[in-house]
Amino acid sequence: MLSLVNGPQTSGNGRGFWLAFLAVLTVALIYPVFADSYDVGNFSYFLIWIFMALGLSLIWGYGGMLTFGQTFFFGIAGYGYGVLAIVLGGSTTTIAALILSVLVAVLAAAVLGYFMIWGRISGMFFGIVTLAATLSLAFFLGQTAGPEWHIGEARLNGFNGMKGMDPLTVGDIYIEGTILYYVLIALIVAVYLGLRMLVNSRIGNVIVAIREDPQRAEMLGYDVRKYQLLTFCIGSGLAGLSGALYTSWGQFITPSSIGLPAAAMPIIWVAFSGRSDLTATLVGSFLLLFGFQTITIYSQQAALVLMGALLLGTVMVMPQGFIFGVAQIASRRWRRLAGRDSAGDGPLRDGET
Amino acid sequence: MPLIDIKDVSRRFGGLAAVSHVNLSIDQGEIHCLIGPNGAGKSTLFKLIIGVYEPSAGTILFDNADITRERPYARVQRGMSIKMQAPSVFKELPVWQNLDIALQQQRSGDDLVMERQRLLELLDLAVHDDKLAGALAHGQQQWLEIGMALALRPRLLLLDEPTAGMSPEETHRTGELIKSLNRDGMTVIVVEHDMAFIRQIAQRVTVLHLGQIFADGTLEQVVSDPRVEEIYLGKAHHV
């Protein structure tokens, strides 16, 4: 089983890593027993965004396509969940609303991705087109305040945003508070392990090959466009999952969760964490969200400035990502230490993690 | 029957005719060398065969199938493989993974691992298998790329200046490798400048000049043509 989730595209493949993973997971599982419900709710909020960050890591870090479109798909699924939860009548149908809204985001990614990838848009132009799509959606939703902007009973409400949808519900049980927290933990574990399997599979080999040299990858017989589209759809679908869960969590969504400041956030999380590593993205994004929220209590402006400074500092000092870089240094030191203890000086080979 | 049949193919870049009305048939099992001065259109012709460029006019048949408008990956799936002029390996990935990305097209499990090991030893890269491909010397990168091309078990192997940056010994070994692959039935087209290397491997030689076929035949026929000596080899170059 471990051989499926371990491989050259992920750091942390040894027994020590997986023991640490189990320890962190255990702490996460018992956390609600000791924490108050307000903190558990806050943690749920941080966890919601992790899917979007992991999706960006896949598209940008592994696939080499810098996209500003994560909040575009977040918004599509977020509004999609809101509309469907209202139109379908709420209650248990919210589960269908969640699944359908994520599928709509994947479909939108397939359409946008098809035109970009088959249209040979790459490099910074990929970022520009996805940013344009994101800003267009935010602008469009911002001008839907009039009563004519509705789908069934669901009003879009312009800048004030949608509200009035049910949270995820199964029978009489609302999936919120501690239950939502556990659902999110389960989803994150499943998505994290699933992505590790993907990037360490034969498909993952091709995805990173395309990032390194698309022409060479095509000369080895791979239809580069299909692999890029697959990567884009999965990563964007994960942003959609964040969006639908966000709407369910807060029972509202506004265009400001799609616009430029919001669209820049996942880029900062993933760049700071280490875009080419799923574990660094998971850990770094959670820490940044936690730090951002903590500082926002005192000053939102200060939090935004700090985010910008972190991005600048990361690009200049550790372009491969701060968390990833620190983890690599710590790993090397630990191995050197262990080597001395057990078998004398064991110099590390380059690239070992 | 020709394996690759190029019929009246031209490729223009704006006002420049890089390749002009080229007709060339290469039979199954042949080692065919393309020579010519810089700018003769050799690499462009290679890119037309593999599909990086589409011809402005003309037709390309591979095993009697029209592949003129097919994308490169589809041509590779038909049985072509190429080593590009400049080393084109995945520089940020280890050597073994470079080979795996090619090998996994046709193999899996133990079969893949065994073939990887065989190629690493054949290419003299076994001790470097964990190194990033970008950290290899230029000649080793050339070998690695040849290995990636071979991993696809092609029927037609295109080698664009395979020995650039190699020592004389490595160049000789490359020639022996090509001859050995050819004995097993592989058709090979080589673009090269090194006449000693061409002499070592060539069964037939085509000279390109200004995008057109200038001469064609055995190496002896081609080098004894005084016009070839004039346009390509130079009076002082003994062949």
Tell me the per-residue pLDDT of A214-254, one tens digit each, with 9 for 90 and over.
Answer: 999 999 999 999 999 999 999 999 999 999 999 999 999 99
Residue A342 pLDDT class (50, 70, 90 cuts): very low
Higher-pLDDT residue of B221 and A185 is: A185
Residue A340 pLDDT class (50, 70, 90 cuts): low
Kindly provide the residue ranges of all beta strands, DSSP E only, lying in chain A, ordered along the sequence.
150-151, 154-155, 162-163, 169-170, 173-174, 252-253
Chain B residue numbers with beta carbons less than 8 Å from the beta carbon of A223 are 71, 73-74
Largest CA distance in chain A: 75
Lowest mean pLDDT among A193-197, A257-261, B38-42: B38-42
Fold of B2-88+153-233: Rossmann fold (3.40.50)
Output phi, psi for A200, to 5 deg.
Answer: -95, 5
Overall average pLDDT of the A288-306 stretch: 85
A272 residue type, one letter = F
Closest Cβ opposite residue A205 in set B104, B130, B148: B104
Q: Do A209 and B71 touch (CB under 8 A)?
A: no
Output phi, psi for B209, to 5 deg.
Answer: -150, 125
B17 touches chain A (CB under 8 A): no
What are the pLDDT digits (tens) for B157-175?
Answer: 999 999 888 889 889 999 9
Is residue A170 pLDDT above 60, yes or no? yes
Is residue B197 pLDDT above 90, yes or no? yes
Q: Do A351 and B94 touch (CB under 8 A)?
A: yes
pLDDT on residue B7: 96
Is residue A178 pLDDT above 70, yes or no? yes
What is the least distance, in Å, from the CA of B70 to any CA of chain A? 12
Is residue A347 pLDDT above 60, yes or no? no
Lowest mean pLDDT among A20-29, A186-195, A307-316, B57-66: A307-316
pLDDT on residue A349: 33
pLDDT on residue A293: 85
Nearest to B35 by CA among B128, B160, B148: B160
The DSSP call for residue B133 is G
Nearest-Cα residue of chain B relative to residue A205:
B101
Give which of A200, A219, A227 to mutate to test B binding, by max B Cβ within 10 Å.
A219
Which residues of A have a CB under 8 Å from any CB of B? Answer: 8, 202, 205-206, 208-209, 212-213, 215-224, 349-351
Map tokens 């010994």 to a residue.
B169
Lowest mean pLDDT among A1-5, A206-210, B53-57: A1-5
Is residue B233 pLDDT above 60, yes or no? no
Compute the mean pLDDT over every residue in chain B, rounded to the nearest whole number. 91
C-alpha of A138 from chain center: 19
B49 residue type, one letter = I
Closest Cβ opposite residue B73 in set A8, A202, A221: A221
Q: Do B91 and A212 touch (CB under 8 A)?
A: yes
pLDDT on residue A1: 72
> How far apart are alpha carbons A276 and A199 in whole angstroms?
10
Highest mean pLDDT among A186-195, A321-330, B165-174: A186-195
Is residue B209 pLDDT above 60, yes or no? yes
Is residue B103 pLDDT above 70, yes or no? yes
Give which of B50, B100, B104, B142 to mutate to test A binding, by max A Cβ within 10 Å.
B104
Reported as half-sphere exposure (CB side, CA atoms, 13 A), residue A299 has a value of 7
> How far apart are alpha carbons A250 and A341 in whole angstroms?
52
C-alpha of A36 from chain center: 26
The gap between the terminal CA atoms of chain B, to the nearest Å, is 31
Q: Please give the ipTM for the structure prediction.
A: 0.92
